[in-house]
A and B are shown apart, each in its own frame.
Chain A
Amino acid sequence: MIPFTVQASNLRTFKEASKSICQRVRFGSEFCMYDLPTEKTLIKAFNIASDAGKDFTYITPRVSDSALDTLVRHFSVLNGLGEMEVVVNDLGVLDTLKKFPNLNPYLGRQLVYIPARCPWPQITEHPASIFVRYKVKQIFYRTALNYNPTIRFYREMGVQAADVDWIPQSFKHYKELVKHGVQLSVHSYLIPVTVTRRCHTARFLQELNPARCSRSCLRSTFRLKQETLGAEFFLGGNVAFRYTEPQQNDLKKLTDIGDIEIVIPAGDVLKAVTKHDLEKGIMKLRGEA
């Protein structure tokens, strides 16, 4: 059975995730360097996962130097706690991680370019000739890792696994990656279409200083609609996501690929904040609900 991982950015939902039927838990901030946990919270999260008998993965965002210093302190602590995975979204963090032998790097979504995250696949319909259209589609659904020298490069950096998104047209390319020995974590439901450091939510809610941000994103997620364009996104902090509903037949295709886990984001957007919500989501995906 395909394993499920729940990803949480705050301790409250992380506790719920750890109690749920998921196999692994991820903790941390994937996109915002101002939302890094304190050392104390990080250790607490690790202990919660250990007590629940779940594998712990620490997820990190792209960072400036000040946040990198914080991450280095976190890595020192985690390295002392034993072997575990760290998801990295920054080349500097990836290089820094080499100093911590117990921490295995996972390539995060911001380091794995997939054109098909684009919310308007109609651009692939643009070319006039059928042949060119076919070629464009071929490229659109690949990932940056579907190129041997790129995989080699990251392997040499110690990377064995990568994060990708639930894009069914890309699954055949994910299969190639798994064949090449790359473990994949497929994020379900929310595909990041754009990430900023000039946080759109913080600006909108008139936060004055990112370093002293009240993290209003934990309380307010917005649904964005562009009527003329027919586009709909979720604005969660500094990321705009597009929503994709996983289908069971697609889950079957992923299961057949092999070394893959499904990541479920805990949070308000999916109304998945309690153990019950999360288990319901997992069982629904498995076709057991």
Chain B
Amino acid sequence: MGKSLDQDDIMKPKILSPINSLEGGKRVIDAGADEVYCAVQIPPIKDFVLYRGPSSEIPSYGDLSKLVKYAHDRDIEIPLVVNWPFIADIIEKPIRDHIRKCIDSGVDALIVGDVGILSIIREMGIDIPLYASTYFMSMNTAAVRFLEKLGFDRVILERHMTIEEITKIAGSSKAGIEILIHGGGCSNINGSCYLFHYTFPELTEAQRTSHKSTPCALPFNLQNITDSSDKFEDTTVMDAFEYCSICKLPELIRTGITGFKIEGRTGSIWYQESTTRVYRELIDLIFERKMEEYERRLEELKNGVYFLPVPTNFYKLKEIWCLQNRCYYSGLSNTPYKIPLSWQTWTKQHYSWVKV
């Protein structure tokens, strides 16, 4: 921290990496993460799934404690995700017990997404930094100021924002501002999306036949309700997934944000580690003002097949992301994605630079 960019006082943003296992935690820390965020399964309510399934969570408190020790030995912080968008009386006790156990495990901060859960934390008298999740859907300075007043130390902004909007917010906030930069960026606004990913037979079948991983990415048949001849088949009309920000890093750093958050708690360890490693390298190059080397690495990355979390038949990065505008901070009005992709098996020989 504390290095400057272009002679001004822009701080080096932290890299926050996602994990869902102890092994993943160790790997992302070794790959250069500044912080590691994770959730832990809550046994009594693990069957109640909002949005994501239990695969996004560390399976036990024991693993959490081991992770915290491994991280703290290396001066790395572990913010814990308790960002349910929702709380009800009948799940209050398990949530309370869960928060207590996680605090006892030594986590460094809590990521919260609901005012009800915030009230539980306050009522429990827990004095720990609080980060406002994307479930608060913060898109303007007034929302961020309001969350500051509620006691949040950091605010994670909604994904669908422009660089200009982020700059304005970061420039006027006391709280740290984090943005998402990589991974399965939601097509929709997280806190207002009810297309839960938790699987059931018909969804599994739809995903299998379309080779798509999330409900919003599925192909739909469209028909204009005022003109029945105006119809389109098999259109991925809701698929606005962002994926990558490697080209936008210098601009994003200049916004003054404090953290870059990589998405992918459900991703493989390989994805979590390799993505962290790539962003670590690029951000370090920028702050060392090695811009030519940064540009060279960008080209290498775009011509390679690096850090894709799902199997691929070796499409180059620029073919699968750049051409389809799967860029986190490109314009808000991307055209629909029309390049058919067939995801096939990949081989680790193409990722030889990743420690396996």
Contact = CB atoms under 8 A, between A and B. Distances in A.
Residue with the greatest number of chain B CB neighbours at <10 A, chosen from A136, A206, A226: A226
B222 to A, nearest CB: 5
Interface in B197-247: 198, 200, 202-203, 205-206, 209-210, 215-216, 218-226, 230, 235, 237-238, 240
Nearest to B239: A200
B209 to A, nearest CB: 6
Nearest to A154: B115
A92 B196 contact: no
Given A126-B200, A147-B116, A210-B332, A226 B220 contact: yes
B86 A144 contact: yes
Given A206-B335, A209-B333, A118 B85 contact: no
Contact of A149 (B116, B143, B162, B210): B116
B144 interface: yes
A24 interface: no
A265 to B, nearest CB: 14
Contacts of A224: 220-222, 237-238
B136 A209 contact: no
Given A65-B141, A91-B138, A132 B200 contact: no
A138 B89 CA distance: 11
Contacts of B90: 135, 138-139
Interface in A124-175: 125-127, 132, 135-136, 138-140, 142, 144, 146-150, 152-154
Contacts of B310: none
B145 A223 contact: no
Residue with the greatest number of chain B CB neighbours at <10 A, chosen from A146, A198, A206, A209: A198
A211 B227 CA distance: 27
B220 A144 contact: no
Given A136-B47, A200-B237, A203-B333, A150 B187 contact: no
Contact of B189 (A146, A197, A208): A197
Contacts of A178: none
A142 B123 CA distance: 23
A204 B187 contact: no
A86 interface: no
B284 to A, nearest CB: 31
Given A113-B191, A150-B87, A203-B336, A123 B200 contact: yes
Contacts of A142: 86, 88
A221 to B, nearest CB: 5
A95 B143 contact: yes
Contact of A65 (B85, B92, B165, B240): B165
A202 B136 CA distance: 25
A139 B88 contact: yes
A11 interface: no
Contact of A62 (B48, B189, B210, B226): B189
Interface string A105-122: 000001001010111101
B341 interface: no
Interface band, chain A: 35 or more
Given A113-B85, A223-B223, A228 B49 contact: no
A244 interface: no
Contacts of A149: 115-116, 119-120, 123
A199 interface: yes
A181 B27 CA distance: 52
B200 A153 contact: no
A206 B333 CA distance: 7
B201 to A, nearest CB: 8
A70 B89 CA distance: 39
Contacts of A138: 88, 90
B169 interface: yes
A97 to B, nearest CB: 10
A90 interface: yes
Given A200-B237, A203-B336, A209-B331, A92 B143 contact: yes
A229 B201 CA distance: 9
15 contacts: A65-B141, A95-B143, A95-B146, A96-B142, A118-B194, A119-B194, A135-B90, A147-B89, A194-B192, A195-B189, A198-B334, A223-B224, A226-B220, A229-B202, A235-B238
Given A144-B116, A229-B215, 19 more contacts: A66-B165, A91-B138, A92-B139, A110-B192, A127-B47, A135-B47, A142-B86, A147-B87, A147-B92, A194-B192, A195-B188, A198-B160, A204-B336, A223-B223, A224-B221, A225-B221, A235-B237, A240-B238, A268-B226
The 9 A-B residue pairs with the shortest CB-CB distance, nearest first, are: A92-B142, A92-B143, A197-B160, A149-B119, A228-B206, A127-B47, A195-B192, A198-B240, A150-B116
